[in-house]
Structure 1
């Protein structure tokens, strides 16, 4: 599942090549068909649904929130750790079934990595410090947005007709049409690998080929499968795409991260023409409104802010003693069920030595990685990238370059005002190099102004004249420095999947796990957090005999 526009574009390339084989067309012809249909009423996916017999989003098996039948109240003590989207969705599902729970959040606000900025920009524009993009297939998030009357903006529909990504390196542009041709060899290599194992590779389901790919670094996959390796434009593009996509160096990542994004199809024998990740939507006015609305819908005093969990102890009767640093000092709470819905980076720092976890769970928590990502966002007096210039065609604002930054995209799509906001997205060591005084800061910080000046110098060769359009407003979110997450989102390192993948959500007695890191299909997404919170609550409801 793609988390960035660049990752999504590579997924599109893969799907176009698969479609070309089925339809007897070239990849370029398929791309043109899709471009014509993107703004049609039924969209690109609808265009080829009939031609290819493709299944709809329902094939993903993503459950939506349905109001269950009335259930009797219970005196069971249920503690939910984490007031992000996952913990709040768990509390909401329990509440819908008539079951009370208490949500403990270390921060002074709810939302976690769903954190919006609606105050810094001219013309009332909005950006996200954290989670930003919602796929067509993210039905849990979409259902919740509808439930709380939060409209979605269609970002793809808002792009200028014909807008495409811009690639620039070695002092010249790398046209998208050339990238499409170069991707053919990559497509063939992906399909060859996908024939050797069954997706996904997990702790209890792998073969020799799957284990070998689990142990193969993504860097080495590029070196051995892409013609020219990292010395080719396509090899370089893939490397940076996965560096920012997962927030880790490709030497540390498993090759399965790439194969899962570009090779996996949700329905065997029927592929999704343009992938299941299209990053099409954003909640109008900011994504943080959703967790705020959920929290407001819960009974008074359900959410306790400023309660930081430090340790979990399993008691002989199966209950759990939870130790908190609370507003009044060290406090212990006893629970019958505990849902740990904290980010992986926080989970790894809890004292779990007395929690009674089995060795595989302990190993899984330690082995999984938290990606390093940072977002530097600048506002300009216009959207120069949507105009004609030396770059090929019309640019969508999505870029990759080797001039010192990694990736950018347009945050102001579907928003009012003539101004435009361009985001520099950094991953891995590049993101880790940002060391601002605070995790979230704006143009009043000397550090942010300096970072903005550096980025402008780096992107100026790509969009000449852009520097002069900057209006002086900027923000920086450096997620590796945030003490409430210690990173952006999770990823699989090499050697992980055949030992631990799929075990992230495995309960340990009456201790349950939620969060995007527990999801295979929606790892790293707001959808993953929401759906896994719902699943963990379902485990508790099952134990209580409540529908």
Structure 2
């Protein structure tokens, strides 16, 4: 699943508050120099040339069948695709009946002709791997940020619609504190990152309670953003995740507060990318083959599955969530840090409840063009039918995180959906009355071999476990980092330093895993 727009809009409010602080003091936003290794990420497709080249033709030979990919989600499919571009036809083993992982598009369930994404949905304008796949396969994208007379975003707090300017003004003191702490990270990452990482976000807010106004809606906004973005309560999220996700790099400069834009949605649904990859990997995808054991052998690895014969491989890409990898017997030596990462870093709980409607009543003065966030039982909702403006019917996605998931998981989807429409009707007049009676909801946190939404780092986990493992892509090879142990290579959104939690993290890590194996083959030839 992709990160939510909710957190992006929270960052946007912080930027406005930051700019107001600077304007009041006669300053302008500045770029801050940084030499932090993980910020050097401006070559997003740097490894593609080797993958696409024909220079490997003389060395691959029979090695095609000696590469095994475990996991048929986007990361595994991406790895197989990029290896295929170099002439390697490899096998992908997937535990479930379908490939695609946490990408799943459903047709006609919310209304005739409507398609909706129960999983990952949004693509940023800097998500180069996803944009490249869409372009390669001729998949169209909808620009979500088209100009409109409507408010793009609505903020419903305290029983009324509040303006973006009002919310930004309330955040000004906290924005100043965040900017100050982000600059500390920029000046001395090694000293300050562990300090902020070991603080929970709840503790960080408690420490700076004096920066929050008496209006409780501001803290509601922040804590709702954390629940939706990471799928955990504020005490279970590292404060570093807030600070760390604010910066973006342009060359060797850092804008301390920035934003990810969730510019695009994929026409036909996100599963269009999966279907395109599947079409070029025919005969290579093996479903209902759950890995049960991996053993190191003298020549490579021996893989055992829930059914079917064992497989011998020289190279293995483990492209499955670590929540699933925990169920596999690992008969090989792993560094302690990696073992802890596998067993301790979890996926957050994020789920969608999608409601079909006969009329898009939110496209009015009291509503919004894109999405709304609020202090209701589910913090975020958005227009799930924006890609299909030609249809009269529409759909709303209610996106729940952490404890909010409990509110939409009990009873039936119809019962919970009707309750949510009724809850929001005082804010969006007529909403409950336009229901077409069709509701659907996700259940990723109870889905076998998945077990959640996307990666969250609890206090202390990023600097203790993840920082020295995750993929880092950089122009300077000395700044780059691979997530691999000899010929055992890892992939998945949870392995990407820059894009964990996004589809792009899965696609990028699959490409980088393929590139790592191709380089290893070249060195051995």
TM-score range, shorter-chain basis? 0.7 to 0.9
Aligned to 1:213: 196
Q: Structure 1 pair 242/12, CA: closer, same or farther in 2 (3 Å)? A: same
CA contact 2:171–2:212 (8 Å) conserved in 1: no
The secondary structure found in structure 1 opposite 2:122 is coil
- Superposed, 1:375-524 pairs within 5 Å as 375-389=352-366, 394-415=367-388, 416-432=390-406, 434-435=408-409, 447-502=412-467, 503-505=469-471, 506-524=483-501
- Are residues 500 and 268 of structure 1, via their aligned partners in 2, closer, same or farther at CA, if it must alter by over 3 Å? same
Q: How far apart are 1:264 and its partner, in Å?
A: 5.0
**Map of 1:130-529 to 2, 5 A cutoff?**
130-157=119-146, 160-198=148-186, 206-207=190-191, 209-226=192-209, 227-228=211-212, 232-263=216-247, 265=249, 267-271=251-255, 275=259, 277-298=260-281, 300-315=282-297, 317-326=298-307, 328=308, 331-352=309-330, 354-389=331-366, 394-415=367-388, 416-432=390-406, 434-435=408-409, 447-502=412-467, 503-505=469-471, 506-529=483-506
1:486 and 1:167, CA in 2 relative to 1: closer, same or farther beyond 3 A? Answer: same
Structure 2 CA distance for partners of 1:229 and 1:324, relative to 1, 3 Å: farther
Stretches (4+) displaced over 4 A? 17-22, 24-27, 263-268, 432-436
State TM-score, norm by structure 2.
Answer: 0.87
Identify the residue that residue 479 of structure 2 maps to in structure 1.
Answer: none
Question: Deviation of residue 543 (structure 1)?
Answer: 0.7
Larger mean Cα displacement after TM superposition, 458-467 or 264-273: 264-273
User: Larger deviation: 118-127 or 458-467?
Assistant: 118-127
Q: 1:487 offset after TM fit, Å?
A: 0.5
Rate the CA distance shift 1:99–1:519 in 2: closer, same or farther, 3 A: same
The answer as to whether partners of 1:16 and 1:274 remain within 8 angstroms in 2 is: no
Cα distance between partner residues in 2 of 1:199 and 1:261: 17
Residue 270 of structure 1, CA deviation = 4.8
Q: Secondary structure at the match of 1:282?
A: strand
CA contact (8 A) 1:515 1:533 kept: yes
* Matching residue of 2:13: 13
Cα deviation, residue 537, structure 1: 0.8
**Native 8 Å contact 1:397 1:422 kept in 2:** no
Q: How many residues align?
A: 497
How far apart, CA to CA, are the structure 2 residues paired with 1:454 and 1:357? Answer: 48
Q: Could you tell me how far apart the structure 2 residues matched to 1:536 and 1:340 are?
A: 9
Q: Deviations over 1:334-363 (max 9, x none)?
A: 1111000012321233222x1211111101
Q: Which residue of 2 is the match for residue 33 of structure 1?
A: none
Rounded to whole Å, the distance in 2 between the matches of 1:432 and 1:318 is: 48
Q: Distance in 1 between matches of 2:196 and 2:102?
A: 31
Structure 2, unaligned runs of 5 or more: 33-39, 472-482
TM (norm. structure 1) is 0.84
Note if contact 1:15-1:272 (Cα within 8 Å) is conserved in structure 2.
no
Cα 1:69–1:166, aligned 2, differ >3 Å: closer, same or farther?
A: same
Structure 1 counterpart SS, 2:304: strand
After superposition, the C-alpha distances for 1:4-26 in whole angstroms (9 at most, x for unaligned) are 1211111222334455677x589
Q: Deviations over 1:287-310 (max 9, x none)?
A: 111111112112x42111111112
In structure 2, C-alpha distance between the alignment counterparts of 1:351 and 1:464, rounded to whole Å: 55
Q: Distance in 2 between matches of 1:11 and 1:137?
A: 17
Question: Are the counterparts in 1 of residues 247 and 256 from structure 2 also a CA contact under 8 Å?
Answer: no
Change (3 A) 1:340 1:412: same
Q: Residue 133 of structure 1 contacts residue 280 of structure 1 at CA under 8 Å; is this kept in 2? A: yes
- Contact 1:166–1:175 at 8 Å: present in 2 too? yes
Residue 479 of structure 1: how far off its partner (Å): 1.1
Give ranges in structure 1 of 5+ residues lacking alignment.
31-47, 437-445
Deviations for 1:54-87, whole angstroms, at most 9, x for unmatched residues? Answer: xxxx973211755323422332200000111100
